[in-house]
Structure 1
């Protein structure tokens, strides 16, 4: 699940999150950890321009700091950046941050990456917004080297060039998974050619089969046979019968009914689903996470 509180876009934030902070964030992460969730995720924006602030808000916690903080209060749940806008930083800076996170968490990092969409954010830090797709492509290649086993990684590219520079600690994992976010044709192609996984951004169920078929077609044409983790973001969920209006798109009802709806994702080739629960406060959200882990998840496998 994408964590609440750490990003508060009006597209998905619940009203109670505005007054929440570290304590509530820890409670949610621990609940997900206990309930057997695969990962918790945190977003990435350095700065939000005034023209977008009303819709996006300016509340965007730093993902490395947030995930490292939560690594210390959880035991097994993995830590996903969904997504790190890696074009805002030099790959060696990104590698230093996330290698340290993986090292400190005992190998729980999943590095989700994306191209970004806010021009002013790129301009403010001196990054190239117009060429952000090409920057991301090479950044992934550079990060593969910088997050590998070699203490002195080597990358010679058009944009980044490094050799003979040591970075420790190394990641705890032999290979840090890199999941590519985005649903544009360029993003799907990038995920197919460079990713260990694909994180679609809001594709409705009916569009997923076409997107997934394209992913595998591109990989086959490129001769790539390695496994690819295909994800999906579900509709909002509510386990049980809500006593309040949870929205017409929300999937709700008995655990078996919620599970039946979600199993349709597996049928079209999805391997992992990211869920978001409707809740009026922290206690209701924790109850929803707990109920999902105990009563819905067993029906998914």
Structure 2
């Protein structure tokens, strides 16, 4: 198991704005934001002690889905490499890379280079994907994407290990005697598995260094964590696994505008008390998202969270 978070503490990270503009959650100001804004948010996360910044993965969005999903989805490798040069410590997470859309050896070349250039800051979050038209467009197997992902994880783990000539022999992919350099800076790139279906939880239990649930509410998460641990124990996997959660939208302090009734807002100590419940469930890292009307309000919220909320997460 590849551990990347401080043991015994509840860490926090965030999916970046701008790079993913699903209309389900994107703020209005993001539509006109660009590279400079993205860099400043990533630098704010770096300064504020965020464990990671994350980037999504979609190749193309069908017109029928665009009303809800939008069509703005930055490429994760290019985006995280760009931000690696602008930051120093924050980890770089794909949440999540859809491995079935690409050959694992080609992916390994990209992500090994990213980890090498960033000084070992890549966390490879992976998932099965859900947009069938994307798979059809690139000639990938949508119906069999679960099995493809299982083998892709195994192939990527081999290809992102320390060996210059990685080897994998499976039903769909086989390679060996093919050298790839540069190697990742880490001895082994951590792989966090995303998804909340039974198949995804089982995949995380058997193959993951971490689990990235997709929006499980508080009342469902404990049972999911128990299932994950049970499946891992039944398979004889003794290594610990780093468990995540996507928390409610946040606003630190009393908002002077309507942040929505689903937003957790108020005094820092109140927010911290509420968020500590995730740690009590067995969660190791929370992914946070802040309501904001501008880049400056977002970075102010990030700084306030780090200074006033985060110190109370592990009391």
| 1:175, distance to aligned residue in structure 2 (A) | 1.3
SS in 2 for 1:297: helix
SS in 2 for 1:40: strand
Structure 1's consecutive aligned runs of 4 or more residues displaced over 4 angstroms after TM superposition are none
CA-to-aligned-CA distance 1:80-132 (integer Å, 9 cap, x gap): 00000010000001100000000000000000000000111001111000100
**1:154 maps to what in 2?**
167
The alignment status of 1:166 with 2:159, answered yes or no, reads no
* The one of 208, 214, 217 aligned to 1:201: 214
SS in 1 for 2:245: strand
**1:283 maps to what in 2?**
296
* The one of 89, 93, 103 aligned to 1:80: 93
| 1:249, distance to aligned residue in structure 2 (A) | 1.1
**Which whole-Å CA distance do the structure 1 matches of 2:67 and 2:34 have between them?**
20
**Which whole-Å CA distance do the structure 1 matches of 2:311 and 2:89 have between them?**
18
Instruction: Quote the RMSD (CA, aligned, Å).
Output: 0.5
The alignment status of 1:252 with 2:238, answered yes or no, reads no
TM-score, normalization: structure 1?
A: 0.99
**2:39 maps to what in 1?**
26
Gaps of 5+ in 1: none
**1:243 maps to what in 2?**
256
| 1:195, distance to aligned residue in structure 2 (A) | 0.2
Aligned residues: 301
Gaps of 5+ in 2: 1-13
The alignment status of 1:228 with 2:241, answered yes or no, reads yes
* The one of 50, 71, 81 aligned to 1:37: 50
* The one of 247, 250, 273 aligned to 2:286: 273
**2:75 maps to what in 1?**
62
**2:11 maps to what in 1?**
none
**Which whole-Å CA distance do the structure 2 matches of 1:96 and 1:36 have between them?**
29
CA-to-aligned-CA distance 1:131-190 (integer Å, 9 cap, x gap): 000000000000010000110011000000101111000000011110000000000000
**Which whole-Å CA distance do the structure 2 matches of 1:176 and 1:227 have between them?**
16
**Which whole-Å CA distance do the structure 2 matches of 1:286 and 1:219 have between them?**
38
| 1:227, distance to aligned residue in structure 2 (A) | 1.2
CA-to-aligned-CA distance 1:28-66 (integer Å, 9 cap, x gap): 000000000000000000011111011111100000000
The alignment status of 1:49 with 2:67, answered yes or no, reads no
SS in 2 for 1:275: strand
**Which whole-Å CA distance do the structure 2 matches of 1:260 and 1:277 have between them?**
17
CA-to-aligned-CA distance 1:244-282 (integer Å, 9 cap, x gap): 110111111111111001000001100000000000011
SS in 1 for 2:196: coil
**Which whole-Å CA distance do the structure 1 matches of 2:273 and 2:292 have between them?**
21
**2:133 maps to what in 1?**
120
